[in-house]
Amino acid sequence: MSRIGKLPITIPENVEVKYQDSTITIKGQFGTLITELPDLVIIVQENNNLKVKLKEETKKVRALHGLYRTLINNMVIGVSKQFNLTLVLKGVGYRAVVQGSEIVLSLGYSHPVKIEIPKQISVEVIQNTTVNLKSCDKELLGLFASNIRAWRQPEPYKGKGILYKGEQILRKAGKSSKK
């Protein structure tokens, strides 16, 4: 049995959980998240806790136990607290601006890069080079951040690119001259 899967999920006071026909709906102050669960997993609600139980003890089902417990826990945390990600633009002339429902990035290309912002994500730009992303859906937030980052991956020679806050780039030495 999974160590993570056995742990109970604590439900905060302002979060409402509904489980019906393998669909779990979690509603909180920051939004509502809905997920389809496989028929192999059962959700049991006791007081202010949720437990993920298995219908059968096969290897395939045990592998999914911790996964679905973590996905449900992330949903509960997301609707009650929200998830934050910060991206830092490093490079001469790199900057970001939010225009309506798009984020416009100047990344050294001949044209500005325009990326549509999903409705569940809020974007805030601080001092042109720091982008704060907030959402209740952790999966969507990570996917959107990686889509932004894919336009300029950090490079090891000058350290330029789009970095996650606190990320360290292993720097390489450039070419050395022969004497």
Specify which residues 99 forms β-bridges with. 102
Distance CA 102, CA 114 (A): 6
- State residue 76 phi and psi, 5-degree precision: -65, -45
- Structural domain ending residue among the three candidates 56, 80, 104: 80
Distances (CA, A) of 33 to 22, 66, 139, 165: 14, 19, 11, 27
User: What pTM, to 2 d.p., does this model score?
Assistant: 0.87
Give the mean model confidence (pLDDT) for residues 128-156: 94
Q: Do 71 and 100 lie in a common domain?
A: no
Q: Do 119 and 72 lie in a common domain?
A: no
Instruction: Please indicate, yes or no, if residue 35 is contained in any of the structural domains.
Output: yes
Using DSSP, how many helices (H) and how many strands (E) does the chain show? 3, 13
Q: Do 118 and 96 lie in a common domain?
A: yes
A 10 A CB-CB count for 52 gives 26
Q: Smallest Cα–Cα separation from 2: which of 73, 57, 40?
A: 57
pLDDT tens sequence across 83-93: 999 999 999 99
Q: What integer pLDDT is reported at residue 1 of this predicted model?
A: 57
The helix or strand, by DSSP H or E, that contains position 148, with its residue range, turns out to be: helix 138-149
- Structural domain ending residue among the three candidates 51, 80, 109: 80
- Structural domain ending residue among the three candidates 46, 80, 114: 80
Q: Do 102 and 114 lie in a common domain?
A: yes
CATH of residue 67: 3.90.930.12
Give the mean model confidence (pLDDT) for residues 153-175: 90
